[in-house]
Amino acid sequence: MRLEDVDTPAVIIDLATVERNIARVQAHLAGLGLKVRPHIKTHRLVRMAHAQVDAGAVGICCQKLGEAEVMADAGITNILIPYNIIGAAKLERLAALAQKVSLSVSADSAAVVEGLSAACAHQVRPLPVLVECDTGAGRCGVQTPAAAADLALMIDAAPGLQFDGLMTYPPIGRAAEVGRWLADAKAGIERADLACPRISTGGTPNLGEIGQIGTATEHRPGTYIYNDRSLLAAGACEEADCALTVRATIVSRPTPDRAILDAGSKALTSDLLGLDGYGLIVSHPDARIVALSEEHGHVDLGQSGWQPEIGEQVVIIPNHACVVSNLFDRIYLRHPDGTIEPAPVDARGRST
Amino acid sequence: MRLEDVDTPAVIIDLATVERNIARVQAHLAGLGLKVRPHIKTHRLVRMAHAQVDAGAVGICCQKLGEAEVMADAGITNILIPYNIIGAAKLERLAALAQKVSLSVSADSAAVVEGLSAACAHQVRPLPVLVECDTGAGRCGVQTPAAAADLALMIDAAPGLQFDGLMTYPPIGRAAEVGRWLADAKAGIERADLACPRISTGGTPNLGEIGQIGTATEHRPGTYIYNDRSLLAAGACEEADCALTVRATIVSRPTPDRAILDAGSKALTSDLLGLDGYGLIVSHPDARIVALSEEHGHVDLGQSGWQPEIGEQVVIIPNHACVVSNLFDRIYLRHPDGTIEPAPVDARGRST
């Protein structure tokens, strides 16, 4: 189909830009001696996961078991779930998945390790488990290098598990500090005669500084495949690197200063990520998307000379690409020759 | 199944509460002499639409054609789409749907009316069209009663269309002012010898004041069927009236002051609606959900004596029920006897 035949609101993925983004980050990280393990929650597409692996990634990273199951069914063979897997239902699925692909997970507490061990005690292969470290981002993770070493020893001693290393989502702008944290933890683990073969870091905004961490062995970038307005604002990409855009239509012009789009929070999400407004209208950056209801986007034209007509279409770079790809059952791939291919979003909506 | 068998994060809908909410609002609006036309974007479920019609609603309201198509296929026969329908693809679907059910739409500009007329000019029955009025909410809609009358006359003269009345989403707390606006518009239309048989208002937070508008003939409440934290904060419902809750699990306890839930923006959405935090933990209202990443909710325990264990489950009333119901492919209905029935969310994700 052609772009003109795509009804709005719709997500368009530019494949040439995707290919460039994958190649650039793969080369950058390989140049730093890091293995690349892309996070698929940005795209949630089997074809993109395969493209990342084909470009040299060692495997992928999924935040949910349900996403990992979709990717495993599609032939992806090496998956990290950097999440505390808890509860009988998920642990049973985890054990089944571990028999099918090369799977690793993370843990940040004895309670999580005990659950993993009980689920995997009778597996043929032990489950590789990384210790999640809170190196400053303030989410999950053990709080000190000493606590990381303690949990590593507990994993090493737990039936069915194998200590595989450290995992963190480093805070931006503090690479050297993160590096010292991880080096301390690694040294503590090695002092206990335990090897720490893998140190996994994540993030796209920090790709420029990730080499300064030093001790990492693999990196999990996610958003780099599409990029978005938050990365544009952070100076981490150019507009031409934004592969995911939302196409929308002006459906109302109630006043000279106001235009209404058919893209609201159900298309752009309410994620602000500290930005002003809910997305960038590429053709008219001075027209601000100031408010969203679920099915309407409110555009303030007060600082713009633009006077769009009803029915006019616009291209929007959303604040946060990952959450947008979860909102659409189907996205549209734009091939280099301009043709458009609709595609279901394979792993969207996996809530468990 | 039983509640203990539901894996988290999950949306639970309490059916006894739903039944009470439907009956209470139906009786309230009927008592005011208003027809009830529930907005289905809160639940997106065929069974709830049928329950609302069975309780006395004249029909339903859908924001998207795709939602209306799902509901029409399921036997709902009277549907309003209060949205400017624009573009060849949607207009073709609209014309097809109008042959199948009693359908009405709204318009707020000549451009929209021209499109509707072109699509419906050769229909056997004319399409009823309401003029959308901006009575102060500042979204879509004509700006003055005189402009409403002008557009009504244009609809009346357009082949394939029939002027059916006025539609507005009134701003909260300004019922008398909205009433005057609508009365002026109606008088202007009637002075031109055109009948104005229907005046449709919307909203749940304003149910207590809607009688003061006076000129309305039907009301489109949406959120009342489930209620949510925004309505609790507005004093429009009690906690016991909240039928939709998100069940989540504590997956990490990194520090004494911090707990991490397995419900992030993919379960609770980033919608703040002016509130502090991203949801109410029913058992511990002083534990604040202060931040969300996509798959994690960050709970600040600093003002709470609660020290939850990893694996503990909590019940959360989300800020905004409508957007939550769009995020899950499947929700869980809790019957009065406590049994749990999983159900697909029939009309979720309809983006066009």
How far is it, in rounded angstroms, from Cα B72 to Cα B27? Answer: 25
Chain A residue numbers with beta carbons less than 8 Å from the beta carbon of B109 are: 252-253, 310
Decide if A140 and B260 are in contact by the 8 Å CB cutoff. Answer: yes
- The model's pLDDT over B237-272, given as tens digits with 9 standing for 90+, comes to 999 999 999 999 999 999 999 999 999 999 999 999
pLDDT band at B335, cuts 50/70/90?
A: very high
Q: Are residues B219 and B248 in the same domain?
A: no
Q: Measured between CB atoms, which of A7, A109, A258 is closest to B89?
A: A7
How far is it, in rounded angstroms, from Cα B19 to Cα B342? Answer: 18
Helices (H), chain B: 15-31, 46-54, 65-73, 88-98, 110-120, 145-157, 175-191, 229-233, 265-268, 321-325
Chain B residue numbers with beta carbons less than 8 Å from the beta carbon of A83 are: 251, 295
Decide if B140 and A260 are in contact by the 8 Å CB cutoff. Answer: yes
How far is it, in rounded angstroms, from Cα B13 to Cα B334? Answer: 6
How far is it, in rounded angstroms, from Cα B340 to Cα B18? Answer: 15
Q: Are residues A212 and A140 in the same domain?
A: yes
How far is it, in rounded angstroms, from Cα A297 to Cα A267? Answer: 9
Chain A residue numbers with beta carbons less than 8 Å from the beta carbon of B144 are: none
Give backbone dihedrals phi and psi of A318, rounded to 5 degrees, phi first.
-75, 160
Q: Are residues B215 and B309 in the same domain?
A: no
pLDDT band at B330, cuts 50/70/90?
A: very high
3 state SS of A285: coil
Chain A residue closest in CA terms to B261: A140
Decide if B134 and A327 are in contact by the 8 Å CB cutoff. Answer: no
For the domain that residue B250 is a member of, what is the CATH number?
Answer: 2.40.37.20
Average pLDDT over residues B276-300: 97
The residue assigned the tokens 């892309």 is A38
- The model's pLDDT over A167-180, given as tens digits with 9 standing for 90+, comes to 999 999 999 999 99
Q: Are residues A213 and A97 in the same domain?
A: yes
Decide if A141 and B64 are in contact by the 8 Å CB cutoff. Answer: no
At B193, list the tokens. 């010898």
> What pLDDT does residue B23 have?
98
Give backbone dihedrals phi and psi of B45, rounded to 5 degrees, phi first.
-120, 130
Q: Measured between CB atoms, which of B138, B253, B293 is closest to A139?
A: B293
DSSP A105-143: EEE-SHHHHHHHHHHHTT-SSPEEEEEEE-SSS-SSSBS
Q: What is the largest CA-CA distance in chain B?
A: 71
Q: Is residue B350 part of a domain?
A: no
> What pLDDT does residue B172 have?
92
At B303, list the tokens. 């003002």
CA of B42, closest CA in chain A: separation in Å? 11
Q: Are residues A180 and A61 in the same domain?
A: yes
Decide if A266 and B323 are in contact by the 8 Å CB cutoff. Answer: yes
- The model's pLDDT over B120-157, given as tens digits with 9 standing for 90+, comes to 999 999 999 999 999 999 999 999 999 999 999 999 99
Chain B residue numbers with beta carbons less than 8 Å from the beta carbon of A108 are: 252, 254
At B72, list the tokens. 């029409």
List Cβ neighbours of B346 (8 Å cut-off, separation of 6 or more): B44, B45, B46, B70, B74
Residue after which a domain boundary falls, among A193, A225, A257? A225
Q: What is the largest CA-CA distance in chain A?
A: 71
For the domain that residue B88 is a member of, what is the CATH number?
Answer: 3.20.20.10
Q: Is residue A68 part of a domain?
A: yes
Q: Is residue B24 part of a domain?
A: yes
Decide if A252 and B109 are in contact by the 8 Å CB cutoff. Answer: yes
Decide if B86 and A249 are in contact by the 8 Å CB cutoff. Answer: yes
How far is it, in rounded angstroms, from Cα A129 to Cα A116? Answer: 9
> What pLDDT does residue A279 have?
98
DSSP A298-331: EEE-TT----PPTT-EEEEEES-HHHHHTT-SEE
Q: Residue-wise over B8-35: b if at least 16 C-beta within 10 A, else e?
A: bbbbbbbbebbeebbeebbebbeeeebb
A203: left (phi over 0), alpha (psi -120 to 50) or beta: left
How far is it, in rounded angstroms, from Cα A138 to Cα A126? Answer: 30
Q: Is residue A189 part of a domain?
A: yes
pTM, two decimal places:
0.97
List of long-range contacts for A338-345, beta carbons under 8 Å, 24+ apart: A338/A2, A338/A3, A339/A1, A339/A2, A340/A1, A340/A2, A340/A3, A340/A5, A340/A6, A340/A12, A341/A1, A342/A1, A343/A45, A343/A47, A345/A44, A345/A45
At B344, list the tokens. 């697909």
Chain B residue numbers with beta carbons less than 8 Å from the beta carbon of A298 are: 138-139
Name the percent of chain A lying above pLDDT 90: 100
Name the percent of chain B lying above pLDDT 90: 100
Average pLDDT over residues A312-328: 97
List Cβ neighbours of A92 (8 Å cut-off, separation of 6 or more): A119
Chain B residue numbers with beta carbons less than 8 Å from the beta carbon of A134 are: 254
How far is it, in rounded angstroms, from Cα B209 to Cα B197? Answer: 22
The residue assigned the tokens 């609508």 is B182
| ipTM for the whole predicted complex goes beyond 0.90 | yes
> What pLDDT does residue B199 have?
98
Residue type, B58: V
Could you say which DSSP state residue A238 is in? -
Range of the domain at B311: 230-319
Chain A residue closest in CA terms to B271: A270
Mean pLDDT of chain B: 97
pLDDT band at B1, cuts 50/70/90?
A: very high
Residue after which a domain boundary falls, among A168, A201, A225? A225
Q: Are residues A116 and A35 in the same domain?
A: yes
Q: Which helix (H) or strand (E) holds A95?
A: helix A88-98
- The model's pLDDT over A210-228, given as tens digits with 9 standing for 90+, comes to 999 999 999 999 999 999 9
List Cβ neighbours of B218 (8 Å cut-off, separation of 6 or more): B34, B35, B36, B37, B58, B198, B199, B200, B201
Q: Are residues A96 and A238 in the same domain?
A: no
Q: Is residue B53 part of a domain?
A: yes
Q: Which helix (H) or strand (E) holds B250?
A: strand B244-255
How far is it, in rounded angstroms, from Cα B301 to Cα B289? Answer: 9
The residue assigned the tokens 């325990």 is B301
Give backbone dihedrals phi and psi of B96, rounded to 5 degrees, phi first.
-65, -40
Q: Are residues B194 and B312 in the same domain?
A: no
Residue type, B224: Y
Taking one residue from A and the other from B, the number of pairs with CB-CB distance under 8 angstroms is 165
Q: Is residue A257 part of a domain?
A: yes
Residue type, B107: A
Chain A residue numbers with beta carbons less than 8 Å from the beta carbon of B9 are: 351-352
CA of B143, closest CA in chain A: separation in Å? 7
Q: Is residue B330 part of a domain?
A: no
Chain B residue closest in CA terms to A8: B352
Q: Measured between CB atoms, which of B254, B262, B270 is closest to A143?
A: B254
- The model's pLDDT over B14-58, given as tens digits with 9 standing for 90+, comes to 999 999 999 999 999 999 999 999 999 999 999 999 999 999 999
β-strands A161-168, A279-281 pairing? unpaired
| N residues, chain B | 352
Q: Are residues A179 and A301 in the same domain?
A: no
Q: Are residues B187 and B277 in the same domain?
A: no
Strand partners, A299: A259, A289
Q: Is residue B7 part of a domain?
A: no
List Cβ neighbours of B99 (8 Å cut-off, separation of 6 or more): B123, B124
Q: Are residues B32 and B93 in the same domain?
A: yes
Chain A residue numbers with beta carbons less than 8 Å from the beta carbon of B84 are: 251-252, 310
Count structural domains, chain B: 2
Q: Are residues B257 and B205 in the same domain?
A: no
Average pLDDT over residues A247-253: 98
Residue after which a domain boundary falls, among A225, A244, A259? A225
- The model's pLDDT over A129-172, given as tens digits with 9 standing for 90+, comes to 999 999 999 999 999 999 999 999 999 999 999 999 999 999 99
DSSP B37-57: --BTTTT--HHHHHHHHHTT-
> What pLDDT does residue B85 have?
98
| A159: number of Cβ within 10 Å | 11
For chain A, state the CA radius of gyration. 22
At B90, list the tokens. 């949607």
Average pLDDT over residues A230-234: 96
Average pLDDT over residues B159-181: 97
Average pLDDT over residues A121-126: 93
